[in-house]
Chain A
């Protein structure tokens, strides 16, 4: 079979895959929005227990990592494999920062008994318990996607290194970037819904 390359097709395929991710998280947003509508005061109270500084820092970190992902594509398109690889590494470093901050947030909560089944949480009103149940599921699923996105970028990094992703054929890098931007996009909605409804 002749080698078949279809740039537009490859991009379209990636976008369609992103739709499935949007709908996957969408199911959780259904649960969140209904529960917020039902327990506005309790959500308001529970949200105060989250650390806005850490949340905002993570937002800045993730958006900046998205910037670097976008710049890596520009670098490769302009012929510089080195620039592309450097920008990818910067993206990955910031992704790690995001996960580290998330780890501290979660461990602090778990230590304080604020987790499903934990001593503190089980005493609270239903609405507050629901807030944290959804918090762990949504940020957990999101964190999983951060890790997957890092893996995708590592894979593309190696493809640039061995020369199968090039300034002439860079759709793999673009598609990795698309996935990463989606991860950023989901956080752009998670951040205010969990940290800013105080």
Chain B
């Protein structure tokens, strides 16, 4: 079965990608606007949250992960968990000095 046949039944069309792009544009303007409001430490939290929503859209739709098998999805999750551990555990040191 060639690649086309393997993907035909779930390949997104032009419309879906343009829709995702539009959402990303909206989220970009939101994050810029919110950054002008002074929320102290929360600014970083909000910015990272919006960035993660944008990132999820890119990963699940542009990168097609929504339609991939569970093995691949698990691998992606593992990679991000390991990164989170590397960053997070470093803070056991630096946040407590």
- Given a CB threshold of 8 Å, the question of whether A touches B is answered with yes
Query: A59-B28, A63-B21 given as contacts; is B83 within 8 A of A22 (CB)?
Result: yes
Contact in complex: B31, A192 (CB < 8 Å): yes
Contact in complex: B35, A30 (CB < 8 Å): no
Among A114-122, A138-146, A163-171, the one that faces the other chain is A163-171
B34-79 interface (Cβ within 8 A of A): 35-36, 41, 43-44, 47-48, 50-51, 54-55, 58-59, 61-64, 68-69, 71-72, 75-76, 79
| Mask: chain B, 7-36; 1 = CB below 8 Å from A; 0 = not | 110011110011011001100100110011
Contact in complex: A192, B41 (CB < 8 Å): no
Main secondary structure of the interface of A (DSSP, over half): helix
Please report B residues at the A interface, Cβ cutoff 8 Å: 2-4, 6-8, 11-14, 17-18, 20-21, 24-25, 28, 31-32, 35-36, 41, 43-44, 47-48, 50-51, 54-55, 58-59, 61-64, 68-69, 71-72, 75-76, 79-80, 82-83, 86-87, 90-91, 94-95
Rounded to whole angstroms, the CA-CA distance of A8 and B2 in the bound complex is: 11
Q: Which of B7, B28, B69, B79 contacts A22 (CB 8 A)?
A: B79
A29-66 interface (Cβ within 8 A of B): 29-30, 33-34, 36-38, 40, 52, 56, 59-60, 63-64, 66
A140-183 interface (Cβ within 8 A of B): 167-171, 174, 177-178, 181-182
Chain A residues with CB under 8 A of B76: 15, 19
Rounded to whole angstroms, the CA-CA distance of A192 and B30 in the bound complex is: 11
Contact in complex: A169, B3 (CB < 8 Å): yes
Contact in complex: A198, B3 (CB < 8 Å): no
Rounded to whole angstroms, the CA-CA distance of A77 and B75 in the bound complex is: 26
Q: Which of A64, A170, A197 contacts B47 (CB 8 A)?
A: A197
Contact in complex: A77, B7 (CB < 8 Å): yes
Rounded to whole angstroms, the CA-CA distance of A23 and B54 in the bound complex is: 19
Contact in complex: B28, A197 (CB < 8 Å): no
Q: Does A11 contact B (CB under 8 A)?
A: yes
Chain A residues with CB under 8 A of B35: 192, 196-198
Nearest-neighbor residue (CB-CB) of A182 within chain B: B63
Chain A residues with CB under 8 A of B28: 56, 59-60, 63
Contact in complex: A178, B63 (CB < 8 Å): yes
Q: Does A1 contact B (CB under 8 A)?
A: no
CB distance from B82 to the nearest CB of A (A): 7
